[in-house]
Amino acid sequence: MGEWKHTSCVLCAQNCGLEMEVEDGKIIKVRGDKSNPRSQGYCCRKGLSMAHYEHNADRLLYPLKKVNGKHERIPWEQAISEISEKLLKIRDEHGGQTIAYMGGGSVGGQMEVPVGLKFLNMLGSRTYYSSLGQEFSSTYWVDGRLFGKQFYPSMPDTHKCDTLVGWGWNGWMSNQEPQARTLILDHEKDPDKCFIVIDPRKSETAEHANIHLQLKPGTDTLLLKSMIRITLDSGWTDEDFIAEHISGWDEVKPLFDGWDARRAVTEGCGLDFDEVVRVTKLIATTKSAIHQDLGIYMNRNSTINNYMLQIFRMITGRFGVEGGQVVPAFLYAIGGNSDERNPKIGRSPVTGMFPIYSVFPPAIFPAETLSDDPNHIRAVIVSAVNPLRTWPDTKAYEKAFRSLDLSVCIDTAYSETARECDYVLPCRSYMETYDTVGFNYSFPELYFQMRQPVVPPLSGEAKGGSEIMLELIRGTGLMPELPQSLYEAGRDGITAYGMELMMYLQEHMELAGLVPVIMAETLGPVLGSTNQALIVALLVGASKAVKIGANAMGYPEADDPTQAEVIFEDVKKHPEGMILSTFQCDDFRLLKTEDKKIALHIPELDAPMQ
């Protein structure tokens, strides 16, 4: 008999709660965790196969260096000192911006990212690529304009809607919603609800649809524009919502003038017009929520399609309401605001692209590397992502990687990317470290889980991702000299540590941007875990809205300095996950626009919308 432990799946962004039976350091059984407040026992067969991924023959055990085209084992000290030396040389000769960091899209190991990003900034670079940059660029850009900041994404409140629309979403297989199959079946079978799928393919999900609009591939723009035209013609707009919450509708509305919806739908999309009118009415006039996914996000016209989806929701009043489109609760934004209209937001040297959500789109990387421009990319640190397998044009990626002066891969496995890199650093897996789950936005409650290690490290040489980043910061000599008092303050608890840190930063304002690094470095050793220190940093630095919501859940007041410590004690007591804070769905004060209205008009899209 082994010991059962609470954890979560790390194989998709749902991070379903799992319980694992562990015997002799190995996972021997896995089951859905009924005590997880978000997934409530749900899991798919990928989650049930976690042991296969964890105890895998391809796992990396020690650092490697490529010598004469072959990887050889080297000691950590050599790896860190050689990589550090090369990074500094590239920075000094060509500028920090020629160093790139790839990572941060992982669905179970977020805690290395704040340290990795700060390390990149300390090297003088903002050249950051992530998987998020390929799927969500367009939607984050659109939402940034509508809501005032790019880190303010919205999502459908599917579990409370009556009409559920899966648009370019194969959720039966991919999940992408909490308890996806249960949700789909609930809408399919309940006579008072409806499940609509918009997909050119008879997907596994479409098999469960009450209505399947099987449009021609890539014609979503025509369909969306037609649905909005039909809504206007039929008087299904929510005028009160528009008057109260939207600015710019007068500029946007004429973009739909003279649009021949019938012709677009029948000739363009190959659909039955009356069926489309019926679907439009259901979306516009019932408690509807639309889950769009890769069929929209990674398809033609993705920016316009995401924009029109939002227009459709806004003018029918399906935003900021229960069962509609809502802005979820989040403890920390997984990206930053990088509005390209701000002249401080730099462009990439070769393609002239700007970051969205502070992330550059992976599609430009080969061109940014294989170039004669003196500022082209020369070094890459890759962590928890496998670009040579998963990012667009892997052949071009291979060529680009082979041309680099330095490539470093931090991974648990000997991946396609690891095979190409000069240095490979073995990382502890997410089942071997404390970490958290960051993408599973929840609503209206803020769900949180600090995953505990369930198995001992497979290799004594592997280190946690954030620890490796800290080693590189130290190795390059970029770690600021910090006072002994900071290293010791945590012994008297988190609140005492917070006070000491605040006092220190008051006198060292220039280090305020490095809080995650400082906390990982000085509080990590006291807690015995770098990632735990970073989780404390999240709680201390949580937004006012999260802190107020936490107070409503019974935690100390938002401005009480003991709040983070009290919450953290609870977090440790609930390895199965917990509800940490609660939100209002109609709180338009949270918008980052000046007038607290949704700024619906995006002038750059006027022409492409025609």
Q: Please report whether residue 386 would count as binding ligand MGD according to CB under 6 A.
A: yes
Residue with tokens 């479409």: 206
Give which of ligand MGD, ligand SF4, Mo ion, none residue 285 binds (C-beta under 5 to 8 Å, depending on kind).
none
Piece of 132-140, 217-225, 364-372, 562-570 that binds Mo ion (CB under 5 A)? 132-140
Contact 516, 115 (CB under 8 A): yes
Least distance between ligand MGD and beta carbon 521 (Å):
20
Stretch that binds ligand MGD, among 185-193, 404-412, 489-497, 585-593 (CB under 6 A): 404-412
221 binds ligand MGD (CB under 6 A): no
When the beta carbons of 271 and 550 are compared against ligand MGD, the nearer one is: 271
Q: Which is nearer to ligand MGD, 468 or 494 (CB)?
A: 468
Interface segment toward ligand SF4; rule CB under 6 A; list 8-16, 127-135, 265-273, 574-582: 8-16
Enumerate long-range contacts of 488-496, CB under 8 Å, 24 or more apart: 488/526, 489/522, 490/522, 490/523, 490/526, 490/527, 491/526, 493/565, 494/523, 494/536, 494/540, 494/564, 494/565, 494/568, 495/561, 495/562, 495/564, 495/565
Which candidate, 353, 411, 408, 357, places its Cα nearest to that of 378?
Answer: 408
Q: Shortest Cβ distance from residue 440 to ligand SF4 (Å)?
A: 8
CB of 356 to ligand MGD, least distance (A): 16
Distance CA 253, CA 377 (A): 43
DSSP string, 242-273: HHHHEESHHHHGGGGTT--HHHIIIIII---H
| CA–CA gap between residue 363 and residue 335 (Å, rounded) | 18
Q: From ligand SF4, ligand MGD, Mo ion, none, which one binds at residue 15 (CB under 5 to 8 Å depending on kind)?
A: ligand SF4
Does 441 contact ligand MGD by CB under 6 A? no
Q: Among 20, 30, 43, 146, which residue interacts with ligand SF4 (rule: CB under 6 A)?
A: 43
DSSP annotation string for 278-333: HHHHHHHHSSEEEEE-HHHHTSTTHHHHHHHHHHHHHHTT-BSSTTSEEPPB-SS-
Residue 109 · residue 384 · CB < 8 Å: yes
**Of the two residues 312 and 357, which places its CB atom closer to Mo ion in the complex?**
357
Nearer to ligand MGD, 249 or 439 (CB): 439
For residue 415, the partner it binds in Mo ion, ligand MGD, ligand SF4, none, with Cβ less than 5 to 8 A by kind, is ligand MGD
Q: Which of 27, 47, 126, 135 binds ligand MGD (CB under 6 A)?
A: 135
Does position 64 bind ligand MGD by CB under 6 A?
A: no
Burial class (CB in 10 A: 0-12, 13-18, 19+), 412: buried
Pick the closer one to ligand SF4 by CB: 35 or 394: 35
Rounded to the nearest 10 degrees, how much is the dihedral formed by the CA atoms of 419, 421, 423, 425? -60
Q: Is 14 in the site for ligand SF4 (CB under 6 A)?
A: yes
- Per CB under 6 A, the list member of 7, 15, 106, 110 interacting with ligand SF4 is 15
CA dist., res. 331 & res. 579, Å (int): 11
Q: Does 387 bind ligand SF4 (CB under 6 A)?
A: no
Determine, following the binding rule CB under 6 A, whether residue 218 of this chain makes contact with ligand MGD. Answer: yes
Q: Is 299 in the site for ligand MGD (CB under 6 A)?
A: yes
Q: Does 576 bind ligand MGD (CB under 6 A)?
A: no
Q: Is 526 in the site for ligand SF4 (CB under 6 A)?
A: no
26, 31, 46, 262: which one contacts ligand MGD (CB under 6 A)? 46
By the 10 Å C-beta count (0-12 exposed, 13-18 middle, 19+ buried), 206 is classed as: buried
Q: Rule CB under 6 A: is residue 457 a binding residue for ligand MGD?
A: no
Tell me the residue number closest to ligand MGD, measured at CB: 295
Distance CA 357, CA 337 (A): 5
Q: Which stretch binds ligand SF4 (CB under 6 A): 44-52, 261-269, 464-472, 590-598?
A: 44-52
Q: How far is the CB of 355 from ligand SF4 (least distance, A)?
A: 28
- Binder among 176, 266, 303, 452 for ligand MGD (CB under 6 A): 176
Distance CA 505, CA 198 (A): 53
Burial of 181 (0-12, 13-18, 19+ CB in 10 A): middle
DSSP string, 330-352: -SS-SS----TTSTTS---TTT-
Residue 175 binds ligand MGD (CB under 6 A): yes
Partner whose binding site includes residue 362, from Mo ion, ligand SF4, ligand MGD, none (CB under 5 to 8 Å by kind): none
Q: Indicate the angle between helix axes 465-475 and 530-540, nearest 10 degrees.
A: 90
The angle formed by the CA atoms of residues 61, 89 and 512, to the nearest 5 degrees, is 80
| φ and ψ at residue 569, rounded to 5 degrees | -60, -40
Please select the residue that binds ligand MGD; options are 17, 114, 144, 295, rule is CB under 6 A. 295
CB of 204 to ligand SF4, least distance (A): 14
Residue 44 binding ligand SF4, by CB under 6 A: yes
Buried (b) or exposed (e) across 536-560, using 16+ Cβ within 10 A?
A: bbbbbebbebbbbbbbeeebbebee
**Structure-token match 């025509």, residue found:** 222
Query: Closest CB to ligand MGD among 167 and 319?
Result: 167
Q: Which is nearer to Mo ion, 135 or 445 (CB)?
A: 135
292, β-bridge pairs: 167
Q: Judge whether 162 and 288 are in contact, CB under 8 Å.
A: yes
Contact code string over 177-206 relative to ligand MGD, x by CB under 6 A: ---------------------xxxx-x---
Q: Does 531 bind ligand MGD (CB under 6 A)?
A: no
Q: What is the DSSP letter of 215?
A: P
Instruction: Determine, following the binding rule CB under 6 A, whether residue 47 of this chain makes contact with ligand SF4.
Output: yes
Helix intervals (H) in 429-492? 465-475, 484-489
Residues making contact with Mo ion (CB under 5 A): 135
Residues making contact with ligand MGD (CB under 6 A): 12, 46, 105-106, 109, 131, 135, 167-171, 173-176, 198-201, 203, 217-218, 220, 293-295, 299, 383-386, 390, 410-413, 415, 427, 429-430, 465
Residues making contact with ligand SF4 (CB under 6 A): 9, 11-12, 14-16, 43-44, 46-47, 175
